[in-house]
Chain A
Amino acid sequence: MHMYRQMVSIRLFEERVNDLYTRALMPGLAHLYIGEEAIACGICEALRKDDFITSTHRGHGHCLAKGASPDRMFAELLGKEAGYCKGKGGSMHIADPDTGNLGANAIVGGSAGIATGAAYAAKYLKTGQVAVCFFGEGALGQGLLYEELNLAQLWKLPVIFCCENNGYNEYTHFSESTAGDVAARAAAFGMRHETVDGQNVRQVYRVGSELITRAREGDGPAFLQCITYRYHGHHVGDIARTYYRPKTEEQEWVTQRDPITLHGEWMMENKIATREQLDEVQADLIKTMDAAMEWAINAPYPDPSRVTEDVYA
């Protein structure tokens, strides 16, 4: 039930982000995680609070699943002082030491080093922490990722490379940008690797847990590919998408592969929850999210004098 709640939270949060954008209340753009919720929720369910994650430009889901609070998330997206980064980071840079979130990163693949470095520190300092590096399949085109796979395996670091393969590098199908087999990349480094259905939160959790436990016990890193789909465009402004993917494909994922619907049905089939209970969760979270958004809309912007603060520690 907790994973269900988390997935619904992310879905509702992201729907409101889209709404803020279309109402011209949000500066800049945002990259929505809708459709991919099972990955962040399944993985983070298996993590300790002090475990590390690094996130991506499509990072709201990771941050929320790791424990960020939606009001301060909204505030950051709106550039408000009360945001996680005092309005200095925005949608693509949410970071929060309290939940082990080393930060979302707007350089594709750019956080692979940070996650591996945090795992290195965890091993050196013997803290028992694990780091999870979330990245999209677009990062498979970045050289840094392969340097980190090599280093992580060479030094047996407790890091999980979690590849969210949503099929599209921005506006290009990944088959047009990616030679060979994805998992074979990890295999080439002798790294443990798995591929899972990223729409099945229980499967993500089960396999993720095993890899995370293994890493925590000193058995080294792993590569986890999660097959998923991005319901919306590359960013909120990417509306007309038929030139790179057909509407029928989108509809198929939305109607048949939705991670929240699938998990809800499974819970009902297995008598874990009733339809009413699931509806109640949803209604309850709608109230929370609406309140969080309103709070953020009404929160003050930072004073311009704050612009020079935090350049140096």
Chain B
Amino acid sequence: MLETATTVRELSFGDAIKEAIAQEMRRDPRVVLMGEDVAEAGTTFKVLTGLVDEFGKDRIIDTPISEAGFSGIGVGAAMAGMRPIVDIMFGDFATIIMDQMVNQAAKIHYMSGGKWKVPMVFRLTMGATRRSAAQHSQSLHAWPSHIPGLKVIVPSTPYDAKGLFKAAVRDDNPCVIFEHKISYRKVKGPVPEDDYVIPLGVADVKREGKDITIIATSSMVQTALAGAKLCEAVGIDVEVVDPRTMWPLDEKTLIESVKKTSRCIVMDEGYGRYGVAAELGQVVAEGAFYYLDAPVTRLCAMHVPIPFSPKLEDTTVPSEQDVVRVAQELCTRT
């Protein structure tokens, strides 16, 4: 029997993304990455360190501090035959690139009757608790998820990050990937060295359980898994489902899980109000209504601008203790 030798290493979330970008750039010379301090500096988070040595400054391109300006260049370059990755240092700067992302990139294929394509990736970050206050800490992935024409990716593990990022680069549509800043170094996991792609729109069951489903995104997958461990002690068997992409959305896997467990918490580091969790919760409410034994419940960032003081900031993000508390509440209902 032939065995394929696959080297699997333990990589950090950030290194997995770097590997995805490097592999895609080796595979396709039309792929370039542009953003602020991406070359020698390797981004402010040092996620891309070393890429400029391999690919040069023509492909790892330092830009002026003009997020809208170079996002627009990404859109035009994509239309004219390239596959640019546009690096937006902080997801909070989504506000600055909105026109290029929402009115231009997302709509050009449709407005042109399907003639022009915009194969590009917007890299954004998300996540609080870096003590960076209200303009560098938000999780705004709900915004592009609202817009037809965009695909939105929120990876939670190094394995997923690599496979999903590569899928985004190869996709013919504008894809927006939200990378969790704290996860860059903190989250580590097995990543094959090989070239592999995870299709967009396929959820992943991160942990099987029978009593309650937690649908969790990005950083909240780790929190949900930690919470699930704590739940074992109180006799609650938690299933954790990661949709991995906000759109396309694997509604079936979410609904099937909740049909099995009959209870559901949706966890997301974005705001709950009018947010991703509201949409995911509604998908479950519509799809599994007759199977539910308790209301679908959200655990999200508090509805406040992210505060600076650690004492304040830490209270805004859901914790594993919150998971246990809410899971117990829902599981004791009859």
Contacts and interface: CB of A to CB of B under 8 A. Distances in A.
Interface residues of B, number: 42
Contacts of A154: 64
A149 B243 CA distance: 41
Contacts of B151: 312
A54 B79 CA distance: 12
B45 to A, nearest CB: 24
Contacts, number: 149
A313 B77 contact: no
A120 B73 contact: yes
Contacts of B112: 84-85, 88-89, 93, 95, 97, 103
A103 B172 contact: no
B68 A117 contact: no
A122 B80 CA distance: 7
A102 B103 contact: no
B32 A110 contact: no
Interface string B93-137: 000000110011000111111111101000000000000000000
Contacts of B63: 151
Q: Which of A52, A103, A113, A124 has the most CB of B within 10 A?
A: A113
B219 interface: no
Interface string A108-138: 0011111111111110110001010000000
A60 to B, nearest CB: 16
B214 interface: no
B12 interface: no
B82 A124 contact: yes
Contacts of A121: 76-77, 79-82
A96 B115 contact: yes
A243 B81 CA distance: 47
B173 interface: yes
Given A125-B81, A144-B69, A114 B114 contact: no
A171 B109 CA distance: 32
Given A148-B69, A151-B70, A311 B149 contact: yes
Nearest to A96: B115
A120 B76 contact: yes
Nearest to A151: B69
A99 to B, nearest CB: 11
B82 A125 contact: yes
B44 interface: no
A19 interface: no
A117 B111 CA distance: 19
A34 B176 CA distance: 41
A83 interface: yes
B82 A114 contact: no
B103 A144 contact: no
Contacts of A102: 76, 79-80, 116
Nearest to A115: B76
B113 A310 contact: yes
B148 interface: yes
A151 B76 contact: no
A223 B119 CA distance: 29
B309 interface: no
A310 B148 CA distance: 10
Nearest to A90: B111
Interface of A: 52, 54, 83-89, 93, 95-97, 102-103, 105, 107, 110-122, 124-125, 129, 131, 143-144, 147-148, 150-151, 154, 309-313
5 contacts: A103-B108, A103-B111, A114-B72, A121-B77, A147-B66
Interface of B: 30, 32, 58, 63-64, 66, 68-82, 84, 99-100, 103-104, 108-117, 119, 148-149, 151, 172-173
**9 A-B pairs closest in CB distance:** A113-B72, A117-B76, A147-B69, A86-B113, A121-B80, A310-B114, A85-B113, A114-B76, A313-B172
